[in-house]
A and B are shown apart, each in its own frame.
Chain A
Amino acid sequence: MKSKLFLLVRVLMKSGAGGTRLGIKIGKKRFSSQLLIFIILAACFTPMAVTFGQGFAYMYDALSPIGQEGVILGLGTGAASLAIFFFGLFYVLSTFYLTSDVESLLPLPLKPYEIIGAKFIITVIYEYFTESIFLLPLTVAYGIKSGAGPLFYIYSLIVFLLIPVVPLAIGSIIVVVIMTFTSIGRNKDRLILIGGLVAMFFAIGLNISIQRLAQRSLDPQKLIQMLQQGGNSLIRLTSSIFPGIYFAAMGLANSTNINGLINILLFAGTAVIGVLLFLYVGEHLYFRGVVGISESRAKRKKVTDEELNKAVTANSAIKSYVIMKEIRLLVRTPIYFMNCVLVNFLWPVFLALPFLMQSGGNDMEQIFNMIRSANDTVIFAVAFGISVFAASANAIAASSISREGKNLYITKFLPMSYISQIVAKALSGVFFSTISAIVIAIVAAILLKLNLAVTIFIVIAGIAGTLFISFAGVMVDLLNPKLDWDSEQKAVKQNFNVVINTLIGLVFGGLSAALVIFADLALVPAFLLITGVFGLLSYGMYYLLSTKGVKLLENIIN
């Protein structure tokens, strides 16, 4: 009997089940606005890609004299695999388990591997978009610099197509196994959350241990020996980044001889093994985890008088809107919690991680001392920049309209002005971003032994920056909200508005930090300048929201 796998892929692609990655859907209806988005997208990413390309070319020039230019290939493909692996985890979790199409597929006479295989293929296809920003420049830069022949480009294409397979297969296996165990209980939301967290920590742990292992097997003498060997011997090092990457890099580096072909075949082999392993695990475990995924626990117990008294405390409309509606829904919806709330706490952890992991190493100690001796203005400016970027990356404001989805009409009949509702949405972003700014300030204060004034300055300026970014985020989301989604993942992760707002955060955070540093301002003027400027920007953005934003919200129909 013919497998329904590919039929399913076609159907799911058509219905947009995997979600158009960045909310780009080419249809007749909104073609012009989609075209505009494409142009913006290209305008945003072209400079980025060019910069990457130049970076790779520069690295090539530096490494080729010692015959180690192939390391670039290893690092590039390795970094791409790692990124796909981490970002893929949540993506896999939501497409495999949380999209509403799961409930309509389960009653059909389909084998588990057909459902999960189809979803896997779609996930792989969507990874091509993200991947290309990074790997295209790499291929072009390396190809031109090395004067590579057509075979190099053919191998590159094969590598490009296969790269997401192994990381996603490993990620999927982790997710499927964990969901099998967590679905034994009843409280869906909490279990998904726990599943997501466990998967993430497991992934981080796995990664650290692979790298540790690789580091241990490497003594300095051997390293020097390898360096002297030339002939891209260093590629072996990068193999520790991700399974299979060694073959990809070797294959590309040796495209002119038979070694290349062998390695490319080996790389394809790892991909095939990855897929088979994944399908095997999926066939046996997927249904156990996914059946009953929409169940949730109800107590059905009479609310006591006391509980009721507590529950009915009165608040002002706007406070209630921010706390009861926006923040509660953010915290209680697993996907929002992971992508919007948790990230605020992960940033500082990520920043601190290299400091913590390398404790004892003298190299690192030296770097710290260097950072510590940097003047307060620089530290303040950098911390401010990071806070602004973190505020834009948590996606709360930039998805605040999109998250309403089919419920957007509720904003229309409530007796609350549109501007108060817009402000309430922005405030929920400000709330979590402020927490993030505080945590960043505290982490910086501890690691870099900052004094109290700098710490407080970071927080206050951070709030001003956060206010602007949150207002800007809501504005961006109002311009082109993504309301038609069947899994919350699409509202926050596959939402182009979030990308735009992150770029705004990157530009405003980075630029203002750079300006302050290069202008060589003293701490207090720098603080006053940044806080003042972002205060004004916030006000300007508020004004824009209260005029244009209100009109936009009024005219959104769904």
Chain B
Amino acid sequence: MIELTNVSKTFGGTVKAVNNLTMTVNNGEIFGFLGPNGAGKTTTIKLITGILNADSGDIRINGLDIRKNTIEAKRQFGYVPDDPNIFLRLKGVEYINFLADVYNVPASERKARIEDLANRFGMTDALGDQIQTYSHGMRQKIVLMGALIHDPSVWILDEPMTGLDPKSSFILKEMMREHADSGKTVFFSTHVLDVAERICDRVAVINKGNVLFCGKIDEMKDLFKKDASLESMFLELTEDEK
């Protein structure tokens, strides 16, 4: 579960990237975070993960405050950043093992988990190579595997589908569903509205730091009083803002 209460973040005194944002991502749901470029999605995610400090407001992950109970809160989630270019000179398996050490994954469970994740994403042949030899999509996948190695209850993914091939993308969506169905939390940002429409239990649409809508897609349809596609509603919502 992720709870944000009245969270604000301003960059350099002028750019209000996140404005008094309040929302809750519940256990057992896939939550999609939508919005145009520069809307504040990545900033919000960085606030949740402790990469940035909020100017005001509270953020809790599984009830743990990211500012007060920092280390414990950070153990709750697995995070996939929007830029997968990390530690390019480590081998895939070294990178994952490093994270496993940091997250205290028991030695007995590591091997099986690495093998399972590598199998699912078709990365078994690449594990022994340095990450700098990977393609963009492969880097995305190794970062994803690293984020999931400690079997976190909360997944926080910043545009995880970019660069993934159809099969990997399908597998990821399947895994997200499984994870949510087991009563845990998936929070991800995306620009792919078709995907959001199909797999999200709830979505939030954000623009210029403000949440314009937060709820089920059906509720959005009720709001617009028509059975439109998410795309057309999204365009209308974010258009109004201007």
Interface assignment of A302: CB less than 8 Å from any CB of chain B: yes
Q: Quick one: which of B61-87 are within 8 Å of A by CB?
A: 70-72, 74-75, 79, 81, 83, 85-87
Partner of A296, one of B110, B111, B132: B132
Q: Quick one: which of B19-69 are within 8 Å of A by CB?
A: 46, 49-53
Contact check, A415 vs B103: say whether CB atoms are below 8 A apart.
Answer: yes
B188 to chain A, nearest CB (A): 16
Closest to A307 in B: B128
Contact check, B100 vs A557: say whether CB atoms are below 8 A apart.
Answer: no
Give A417 to B72 CA distance when docked, in angstroms.
10
Give A312 to B108 CA distance when docked, in angstroms.
9
Give A307 to B92 CA distance when docked, in angstroms.
13
Stretch of B119-127, B175-183, B223-231 contacting A (4+ beta carbons < 8 Å): B119-127
Contact check, B81 vs A409: say whether CB atoms are below 8 A apart.
Answer: yes
Which residues of A are found within 8 Å of B90, using beta-carbon distances? 324-325, 328-329, 332
Stretch of A284-292, A315-323, A345-353, A522-530 contacting B (4+ beta carbons < 8 Å): A315-323
A376 to chain B, nearest CB (A): 44
B67 to chain A, nearest CB (A): 10
Interface assignment of B129: CB less than 8 Å from any CB of chain A: yes
Return the CB mask of B93-105 against A: 1 if under 8 Å, else 0: 1100110111111
Q: Quick one: which of B163-194 are within 8 Å of A by CB?
A: none
Give A308 to B72 CA distance when docked, in angstroms.
29
Knowing A317-B104, A413-B49, say if A312 contacts B93 (CB, 8 Å).
Answer: yes
A410 to chain B, nearest CB (A): 7
Contact check, A325 vs B98: say whether CB atoms are below 8 A apart.
Answer: yes
Which residues of A are found within 8 Å of B238, using beta-carbon distances? none
Interface assignment of B221: CB less than 8 Å from any CB of chain A: no
Contact check, B71 vs A417: say whether CB atoms are below 8 A apart.
Answer: yes
Contact check, B97 vs A312: say whether CB atoms are below 8 A apart.
Answer: yes
Contact check, B98 vs A312: say whether CB atoms are below 8 A apart.
Answer: no
Interface assignment of A46: CB less than 8 Å from any CB of chain B: no
Contact check, A409 vs B51: say whether CB atoms are below 8 A apart.
Answer: yes
Which residues of A are found within 8 Å of B13, using beta-carbon distances? none
Which residues of A are found within 8 Å of B129, using beta-carbon distances? 298-300
Contact check, B101 vs A320: say whether CB atoms are below 8 A apart.
Answer: yes
B209 to chain A, nearest CB (A): 17
Contact check, A412 vs B101: say whether CB atoms are below 8 A apart.
Answer: no
Knowing A297-B133, A333-B89, A412-B50, say if A312 contacts B100 (CB, 8 Å).
Answer: yes
Give A333 to B52 CA distance when docked, in angstroms.
29
Interface assignment of B10: CB less than 8 Å from any CB of chain A: no
Partner of B75, one of A320, A409, A415: A415
Interface assignment of A414: CB less than 8 Å from any CB of chain B: yes
Which residues of A are found within 8 Å of B125, using beta-carbon distances? 300-302
Contact check, B50 vs A317: say whether CB atoms are below 8 A apart.
Answer: no
Knowing A312-B110, A417-B71, say if A324 contacts B46 (CB, 8 Å).
Answer: no
Give A557 to B128 CA distance when docked, in angstroms.
33
Interface assignment of B107: CB less than 8 Å from any CB of chain A: yes
Which residues of A are found within 8 Å of B100, using beta-carbon distances? 312, 314
Give A311 to B81 CA distance when docked, in angstroms.
25
Closest to B147 in A: A413
Give A324 to B101 CA distance when docked, in angstroms.
10
Give A234 to B198 CA distance when docked, in angstroms.
86
Closest to B71 in A: A415
Contact check, A312 vs B111: say whether CB atoms are below 8 A apart.
Answer: yes
Knowing A297-B133, A312-B107, A414-B74, say if A317 contacts B102 (CB, 8 Å).
Answer: yes
B54 to chain A, nearest CB (A): 13
Which residues of A are found within 8 Å of B110, using beta-carbon distances? 312, 314
B75 to chain A, nearest CB (A): 4
Interface assignment of A416: CB less than 8 Å from any CB of chain B: yes
Which residues of A are found within 8 Å of B74, using beta-carbon distances? 413-415
Contact check, B102 vs A321: say whether CB atoms are below 8 A apart.
Answer: yes
Q: How many residues of B contact A (CB 8 A)?
A: 46
Contact check, B128 vs A303: say whether CB atoms are below 8 A apart.
Answer: yes
Partner of A416, one of B71, B126, B134: B71
Contact check, A328 vs B94: say whether CB atoms are below 8 A apart.
Answer: yes
Partner of B102, one of A302, A312, A320: A320
Interface assignment of B114: CB less than 8 Å from any CB of chain A: yes
Give A555 to B125 CA distance when docked, in angstroms.
40
Give A469 to B148 CA distance when docked, in angstroms.
38
Return the CB mask of A372-407 against B: 1 if under 8 Å, else 0: 000000000000000000000000000000000011
Give A317 to B101 CA distance when docked, in angstroms.
5
Which residues of B are found within 8 Å of A312, using beta-carbon distances? 93, 97, 100, 107, 110-111, 114
Contact check, A296 vs B133: say whether CB atoms are below 8 A apart.
Answer: yes
Closest to B129 in A: A298
Contact check, B97 vs A311: say whether CB atoms are below 8 A apart.
Answer: yes
Which residues of B are found within 8 Å of A484, using beta-carbon distances? none
Interface assignment of A313: CB less than 8 Å from any CB of chain B: yes
B49 to chain A, nearest CB (A): 4
Contact check, B93 vs A308: say whether CB atoms are below 8 A apart.
Answer: yes
Give A557 to B111 CA distance when docked, in angstroms.
35
Contact check, A329 vs B89: say whether CB atoms are below 8 A apart.
Answer: yes
Partner of A314, one of B71, B106, B134: B106
Give A320 to B51 CA distance when docked, in angstroms.
22
Contact check, B87 vs A325: say whether CB atoms are below 8 A apart.
Answer: yes
Give A332 to B89 CA distance when docked, in angstroms.
7
Interface assignment of B115: CB less than 8 Å from any CB of chain A: yes
Which residues of B are found within 8 Å of A300, using beta-carbon distances? 125-126, 129
B34 to chain A, nearest CB (A): 23
Contact check, A412 vs B71: say whether CB atoms are below 8 A apart.
Answer: no
* A-B CB contact pairs (8 Å), 13 listed: A296-B130, A297-B133, A300-B129, A303-B93, A311-B97, A312-B110, A320-B102, A332-B90, A332-B130, A409-B51, A412-B49, A412-B52, A413-B51
12 further A-B pairs in the complex, CB-CB below 8 A; given A328-B89, A410-B86: A296-B133, A299-B129, A300-B129, A308-B111, A308-B115, A308-B127, A312-B93, A319-B101, A328-B94, A413-B50, A414-B74, A415-B75
Interface residue ranges, B against A (CB under 8 Å)? 46, 49-53, 70-72, 74-75, 79, 81, 83, 85-87, 89-91, 93-94, 97-98, 100-107, 110-111, 114-115, 124-130, 132-134
A-B residue pairs, 4 tightest by C-beta: A320-B101, A298-B133, A314-B107, A415-B74
